[in-house]
């Protein structure tokens, strides 16, 4: 799964394919960290290219329980759509 939406980057290019590469859950601290890798395009990802950018997003503690129900990756995509400006209308892939 991935989110398709052209976003601006600090590198002067606009990646359009954003994929959750990891979800880390810390039960003791009640924290979730979502790592998102951004690729120039879906085609670049399919060719095996590395992401042009990757960012770790610390999820607020009050949202931690959302990651405990079902699949943590699915929860991450839902959370990104609802909380990251610009991804609310991204297409699913």
* Dihedral-angle region of residue 2 (phi above 0 means left; psi in -120 to 50 means alpha; beta otherwise): beta
How many whole angstroms separate alpha carbon 69 and alpha carbon 67?
6
Q: How far apart are CA 87 and CA 77, in angstroms?
A: 10
Question: What per-residue confidence (pLDDT) applies to 64?
Answer: 97
pTM of the model: 0.90
CA proximity to 55, closest of 71, 38, 70: 38
9 pLDDT tier (thresholds 50, 70, 90): confident
Tokens 């085609």 appear where?
43
For 92, the token pair is 């699913």
On the question of pLDDT at 8 being above 90, the answer is no
Backbone angles phi and psi of 73, in degrees to 5? -70, -40
């Amino acid at each position: 799964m991935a989110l398709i939406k052209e976003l601006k980057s600090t590198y002067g290019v606009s990646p359009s394919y954003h994929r959750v590469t990891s979800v880390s859950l810390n039960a003791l601290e009640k924290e979730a960290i979502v790592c998102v890798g951004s690729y120039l395009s879906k085609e670049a990802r399919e060719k095996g290219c590395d992401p042009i950018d990757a960012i770790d997003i610390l999820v607020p503690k009050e949202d931690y329980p959302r990651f405990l129900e079902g699949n943590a990756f699915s929860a991450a995509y839902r959370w990104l759509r609802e909380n990251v400006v610009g991804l609310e209308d991204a297409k699913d892939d």
